Amino acid sequence: MGFLDKLFGGKPEAPVDNGIYIYARCDSCGRVVHTRLDPEHDLIADGEGFRRRKTLIDDRCFRRIPMIATFDHNKKLTSLELQGGTRIDRETWLAEKDAPRRPPSGPSETP
């Protein structure tokens, strides 16, 4: 019956996400951002492993955060350079990603 289940639509396998996620905080406004790198298509081979340049942009101050990520031959992250940003972990990003984008603006009313 296993063959017939596969042939006629048994349970589909869940897709596997092999992406490499990078999380950062903008040094200018404090907004957290993330990016996903596809190890099969986004990494560029160099003599010592792989490398990827990318520019992150947050949705608060829209400043550019240039990133250079270096990987070994097994596509494991070995170094990360961020200009105008600081690397954070996934848990920090999850905790802060839904924070309000901009504080309320406008004249404050005082009695």
pLDDT tens digits, residue range 43-74?
A: 999 988 999 999 999 999 999 999 999 999 99
How many structural domains compose the chain? 1
Apex CA 52: angle with CA 101 and CA 24, to 5°? 25
107 found inside a domain: no
pTM of the model: 0.76
Q: Which H/E stretch holds residue 2? A: helix 2-7
Asked whether the beta carbons of 55 and 63 are under 8 A apart, the reply is no
Q: What is the pLDDT of residue 2?
A: 67
**pLDDT at residue 10 greater than cutoff 80:** no
5 found inside a domain: no
108 found inside a domain: no
Domain hosting residue 35, numbered range: 18-96
Q: What CA–CA distance (Å, rounded) separates 106 from 65?
A: 29
pLDDT tens digits, residue range 36-47?
A: 999 999 999 998
Closest CA to 37 of 49, 48, 25, 53: 53
Span 33-37, average pLDDT = 97
